[in-house]
Amino acid sequence: MDVESLGVWVPALPVASALFILVFLRGTHRAAARVSLSALTLSLLLAAGLLVRYLMGGGMAVIDTGGVFGSLWLDPLSLVLWAFVSGISLIVHIYSVRYMAEEPGYARFFALLDLMTGVILVMVSAANLVTLLVAWFLVGVVLYFLLGHDHRRPAAGRYAFWTQITYRFGDLPLWLAALILVHSYHSVSLPVIFARIHKAPGTELWGMPVPELTGFLLALAAFARSAQFPLHIWLPYTMDGPTPVSALMHAGIVNAGGFLFNRFAPLFEHAGWALHWTFGVGLMTALIGSGLMLMQNDIKRSLGYSTMGQMGFMVMECGLGAFPLAVFHLIAHGFFKASLFLGAGDVIGDARAHDGVPADPIYTSVVERRPAKPSRLPWLVAASLTVLVPVVVLSLSHFFVAEHLFYEQGVVVLLFFGWVTGAQALFAAHKMSQQDPWRLMLGILSSFVVVVIGYTLISHYFGQLLYPDEHESLRLYQAASIHRLSFDALVMLLAAVFVGGWALTFFAESFDFEGRLGARGRGVYLGVYALLSRELYVADVYERSSQLIVQWSRRLNVWLRWC
Amino acid sequence: MDRALFALAAVFVPIFPLSWVFNRTAALLPAGAQALVVLIVPQIGITLLAATFHGAPPPLSLRPWIMGLATASALLYALRALSARELSIWTRLMLCSGLAVVWLAWAAGSPGPVLRLMALGWGLPAAVALFLAGALTRRAGGAYIGLQGGLIAVMPRMTAGLVLAVLALTVTPVFPAFFMLWRGLESVPLAWLPFWLPLIFLWGWAAGRLFQDLLFGDYHGEPMADIGALSVALISVAFLVSLAVSLAGSGGASWY
């Protein structure tokens, strides 16, 4: 047996553990947790070993079972995601050992967690379309049962159903894309299909190039899985499931969209319009998700919308052709969000136990009742730092690390967003009233420089790992490019919008906008607020449409006498 | 002669409008007999289909009509399953929807053994669900899911069996129906696919609505005994066999 064949055990161990627990350890507590943890640990060690082996010069491999389904592809994407998924899952498992101790169905919970992990591991390494479809489909099914683990709560069931139905909707374009690819390229094997697309990218169906058509379908499948607007409504409501499931979902499962784009990267090289559409949807989701996040007063739902915003950024990165950056983003976000979810319970508990108000009467009278003395940098200095420093730091770091990519449109847009985000952080720091504003600004600036340089270096080397062929990265950026003139106009327009927004915020107090709004303006403001607080009525529209369809179904049944 | 065989086959492998006869007749039988009917009768129907047109696939001019009728029938029954709450009715509607794939594959020229495996892919879980519907009717006086809240609290074994049957009926991998659907859709012209894919959505929706009432909420009925060890063993064997067929031959599709 060669070393690559050992790879089968990475997904097989958690699946075997799930079946073992369900058959033999259903009534146990400790034994089920031990078996589950042991299987996951072995799986992680094996995944890490295979990744290290690849980094030290080992090649890619396809483990073929010979049947229609079950083949695994051990390429850099699979190996990196194997290590990531099994790592996150192990953390969630360890957390669940005590967190779920008082819950009924303890062993079943671990079995489902194992099954979910195994299915995701198969999904990220599927070497053929049927295997991918099987795993993609099963993720939705297993997630439904995990989210509805506490069957005594109807709300858990309702929101698990929302998730299941959105996932099922997202399965349809993947089915169609898979069948179109099989019909057009006469194979279910992904490496074979990609090789044939490379040779004949102009193959047409229904008057459209097949890669472009399937690119749209794959993007739609990814949107449903990664909670893109308007298929996002399930995500913030899945908090009714157990916290470890929320952590696993927000850290891993919801990232499946980014994985799908990367898996089909050779196809997206010939699907420019699908990438432009992806960019638009990602941008809109990022804006809506981040906006709605700011309106929430429930920490877990706020984290849910934060994930939606992050998924928007990840999808947007794919739309720009920065595919490896999306994988780096999903891994970084995965660890970050898992830690937030797993810590959310403690934060809520602490907040309930301690209200944070010191009991000391001297503190209360001296510190709290004394208004802070506002002290800020001169506005010209602040504006220069805010606008110029991020541009200089971002441009220099990218220029030195990957000069050949510096002029690609996708990279320019990413730098633009980096500039906006960096400037926003500096601007927020400037707005804080501090006794020593120079010290604060210096601290923020040094953090910014360290983060940007670190992020640029890591994402560059990560990109080289995932896409060793540099031309492939370039082809993706070029597929995502638009006409030069339109691009320049778009960048200038966006820059004007952002600078205008900052100016508006900066001068909001001095111009007294709120006072000048008038009754009509306040009405509009309240209308927008109501629209956003009802989450744009998306859930209501779905609810009403589904009620209508079920009503027609009932009428048909009565008419046909239920036969 | 061909027309008569064709009409009979449309009753036995139910397709609208003659599926109404199949459903009406099955509804008159006790649950155990219904379970046998959904296993055996479609197999007879496939024999009849094989005898039509002297064993050859349907003529090219007829194929689009058969595919169109199968598609409409499958969509109609899937839509109707959304509002069904009585387990036997729900199962029969889902079965009629799923068995339309057999007609689709027949029109596309799939061989007889594949059609038989397809019918079993939907027939076996339907038989299990109907058997469990009978068990529930005997205990609770009816198989209306949702009438008494989460049945899982009092009948965990029955609920587990029913969940597996529903998943298998609604083409969840790795049950055979999933691979059979793949095989069926792979063999038809691509233009039919946009009509067939909403089916997968409707099946999932129907299953989700059933699970809502079956699994969640507090049980508020009389105490009930769960199904016995023999029933559990029978159901387990049925699912193990179908899983083995799936894993060894992608639902049996890869053997032909």
A267, A194 Cβ separation under 8 angstroms: yes
Q: Long-range contact list for A28-31, CB < 8 A, 24+ apart?
A: A28/A107, A29/A101, A29/A106, A29/A107
Average pLDDT over residues B243-249: 82
The pLDDT value recorded for residue A373 is 56
Quick one: tokens of B33? 């007999």
Average pLDDT over residues A318-336: 86
Q: Chain A residues within 8 A (CB-CB) of chain B?
A: 67-69, 130, 133-134, 137-138, 141, 144, 148, 151-154, 156-158, 161, 164-165, 168-169, 171-172, 175-176, 179-180, 182-183, 205, 546, 549-550, 552-554, 556-557, 560-563
Q: Helix, strand or coil for residue A204?
A: strand
Query: Is B174's Cβ below 8 Å from some Cβ in A?
Result: yes
Q: Is residue A366 very low, low, confident or very high in pLDDT (cuts 50, 70, 90)?
A: low
Query: Is B23's Cβ below 8 Å from some Cβ in A?
Result: yes
SS (H, E, C) A159-181: HHHHHHHHHHHHHHHHHHHHHHH
Structural domain harbouring B121: 2-255
| Residue length of chain B | 256
The pLDDT value recorded for residue A362 is 61
Average pLDDT, chain B: 90
Chain B contact set for A68 (CB, 8 A): 179, 250, 253-254
Quick one: tokens of B114? 């594949």
What is the DSSP code (8-state) at residue A72?
E
Least confident segment among A209-213, A310-314, A415-419: A415-419
- Out of A137, A157, A172, the one facing B201 most closely (by C-beta) is A172
Q: Is A205 within 8 Å of B190 when comparing Cβ atoms?
A: yes
Q: Rounded to an integer, what is the distance from CA A214 to the centroid of its chain? A: 22
The pLDDT value recorded for residue A134 is 94
The pLDDT value recorded for residue A555 is 96
Report how far apart, in Å, the C-alpha atoms of A278 and of each of A229, A407, B191 are: 11, 21, 25
Cβ atoms < 10 Å from Cβ of A222: 28
In whole angstroms, give the CA distance from residue A185 to residue A554: 43
Q: Which residues pair with A74 in a beta bridge?
A: A61
Q: In the predicted model, is pLDDT for residue B33 greater than 80?
A: yes
Nearest C-alpha in A relative to B94: A563
CA geometry: angle at B9 spanning B3 and B12, to 5°? Answer: 150
Query: Is B216's Cβ below 8 Å from some Cβ in A?
Result: yes
In whole angstroms, give the CA distance from residue B164 to residue B174: 11
Closest CA to A129 of A73, A184, A189: A189
In whole angstroms, give the CA distance from residue A250 to residue A419: 27
Average pLDDT over residues B59-63: 90
- Out of A154, A182, A562, the one facing B217 most closely (by C-beta) is A154
Q: Is B200 within 8 Å of A141 when comparing Cβ atoms?
A: no
Exposure string of A365-383, with b = 16+ CB inside 10 Å and e = fewer, is eeeeeeeeeeebbeeeebb
In whole angstroms, give the CA distance from residue B238 to residue B130: 14
Q: Where along chain A do its domains lie? A: 375-511, 518-563
Q: In the predicted model, is pLDDT for residue B43 greater than 80?
A: yes
The pLDDT value recorded for residue B213 is 84
Convert the pLDDT of each residue in B177-213 to its tens digit.
999 999 889 888 898 998 998 999 999 999 999 998 8
Query: Is B144's Cβ below 8 Å from some Cβ in A?
Result: no
Average pLDDT over residues A389-408: 74
Q: Is A179 within 8 Å of B190 when comparing Cβ atoms?
A: yes
In whole angstroms, give the CA distance from residue A107 to residue A114: 11
Query: Is B47's Cβ below 8 Å from some Cβ in A?
Result: no
Q: Is B80 within 8 Å of A560 when comparing Cβ atoms?
A: yes
Quick one: tokens of B141? 């006086």
- Out of A67, A182, A563, the one facing B24 most closely (by C-beta) is A563
Report how far apart, in Å, the C-alpha atoms of B93 and of each of A72, A546, A557, B159 are: 37, 19, 10, 20
Nearest C-alpha in B relative to A162: B208
Q: Helix, strand or coil for residue A205?
A: strand
In whole angstroms, give the CA distance from residue B163 to residue B177: 15
In whole angstroms, give the CA distance from residue B200 to residue A136: 14
A61, A74 Cβ separation under 8 angstroms: yes
A-B CB pairs within 8 A amount to 124
| Residue length of chain A | 563
In whole angstroms, give the CA distance from residue A390 to residue A395: 8
Q: Helix, strand or coil for residue A126?
A: strand
Average pLDDT, chain A: 85
Q: In the predicted model, is pLDDT for residue B65 greater than 80?
A: yes
Q: Is residue A547 very low, low, confident or very high in pLDDT (cuts 50, 70, 90)?
A: very high
Q: In the predicted model, is pLDDT for residue B124 greater than 70?
A: yes
Q: Is B79 within 8 Å of A180 when comparing Cβ atoms?
A: no
Q: Is B173 within 8 Å of A168 when comparing Cβ atoms?
A: no
Quick one: tokens of B144? 């209306």
B92, B133 Cβ separation under 8 angstroms: no
Mutate one of B83, B163, B183, B213 to test the A interface: name it (highest A CB count within 10 A). B83
Total count of domains within chain B: 1
Convert the pLDDT of each residue in A431-451 to its tens digit.
766 667 777 778 878 888 888
Q: Is B205 within 8 Å of A151 when comparing Cβ atoms?
A: no
Closest CA to A121 of A24, A38, A7: A7
Q: In the predicted model, is pLDDT for residue A370 greater than 60?
A: no
Convert the pLDDT of each residue in A465-474 to its tens digit.
888 887 888 8
In whole angstroms, give the CA distance from residue A4 to residue A9: 10
Min Cα distance B166 → chain A (Å) is 12
Q: Is residue A82 very low, low, confident or very high in pLDDT (cuts 50, 70, 90)?
A: very high
- Out of B27, B193, B249, the one facing A176 most closely (by C-beta) is B193
Q: Is B27 within 8 Å of A563 when comparing Cβ atoms?
A: yes
In whole angstroms, give the CA distance from residue B67 to residue B61: 11
- Out of B83, B200, B248, the one facing A175 most closely (by C-beta) is B200
Min Cα distance A180 → chain B (Å) is 7
The pLDDT value recorded for residue A211 is 95
Q: Is A152 within 8 Å of B179 when comparing Cβ atoms?
A: no
Convert the pLDDT of each residue in A479-503 to its tens digit.
888 888 888 888 888 888 887 887 7
Average pLDDT over residues B11-27: 93
What is the separation, in whole angstroms, between the first and last Cα of chain A?
56
Quick one: tokens of A372? 């802070």
State the ipTM, two decimals.
Answer: 0.93
- Out of A144, A165, A179, the one facing B186 most closely (by C-beta) is A179
